[in-house]
Amino acid sequence: MAAEPVRPYAREDRPGSAVKKLGRSFYARPAIELAPDLIGKILVHRIGRKEYRARIVETEAYIGQHDLACHASKGRTNRTEVMFGRPGHAYVYFIYGMYDMLNVVASDVDDAQAVLIRAAEPLNGWNVDLSGPGKLARAMHITRRANNGVDLTGKKLFFIDAGAPRPKISRSKRVGVDYAGRWKHALLRFFDAGSPFVSRIRPMSGKRQGEEATR
């Protein structure tokens, strides 16, 4: 089992710190703009005395009800209600009976858009594999039961900007959305072109492929 990081609570809480927690206005824009801007930001999850930190290296944008790869394309349901709410909240869903997936609600109320956090680089000497959305959520102890609908401007689960230089960002088709008609070709996956922590894309087939990226 990978060693888990323990850090004292942290620089972004101190007046005058160069490390800034991302506020509501950062998330209140289209997912296609938010997704690349989350690359390089640091995801923080605090649980009791433990604090997990990882630098985001890969995201995917899901841009509304017209996007057939987006959960919202099926309409407003109990599952997708969070996506139709205020930006800057966590939309976490459970898939295959084993994986939780963390998404960030974008845009505005009633405009259901979100960004999937696909991969990250563990920080502070943390030896763990975060190269995939299921792996990331599991290692950072993010679950639908505990975190769906959580305000990402709060004190437990949030993103910070550490002021690092913006990485070179590449884009490609999203993973596993062949069922989504013309939307399978949309270049809405964003990743740090120089990072070894980006997820490895493996061929998939059948129902499982369609289910993985139905967000």
Q: Which residues of the chain have pLDDT under 70?
A: 1-18, 202-215
Instruction: Give the pLDDT confidence score for residue 184 in this predicted structure.
Output: 82
User: What is the DSSP annotation of the chain?
Assistant: -PPPP---S-GGGSTT-S-EE--HHHHSS-HHHHHHHHTT-EEEEEETTEEEEEEEEEEEEE--TT-TTSGGGG-S-TTTGGGGS-SSBEEEEEETTTEEEEEEE-SBTTB--EEEEEEEEE-TT------SHHHHHHHTT--HHHHTT-BTTSSSEEEEE--PPPPPEEEEPPTT-TTSGGGGG---EEEETT-TTSPPP----HHHHHHHT--
Instruction: Give the pLDDT confidence score for residue 58 in this predicted structure.
Output: 98
Instruction: Give the pLDDT confidence score for residue 69 in this predicted structure.
Output: 87
Instruction: Give the pLDDT confidence score for residue 2 in this predicted structure.
Output: 53
Q: pTM for this structure?
A: 0.86
Instruction: Give the pLDDT confidence score for residue 164 in this predicted structure.
Output: 87
Instruction: Give the pLDDT confidence score for residue 209 in this predicted structure.
Output: 33
Instruction: Give the pLDDT confidence score for residue 211 in this predicted structure.
Output: 32
Instruction: Give the pLDDT confidence score for residue 206 in this predicted structure.
Output: 39
Instruction: Give the pLDDT confidence score for residue 208 in this predicted structure.
Output: 35
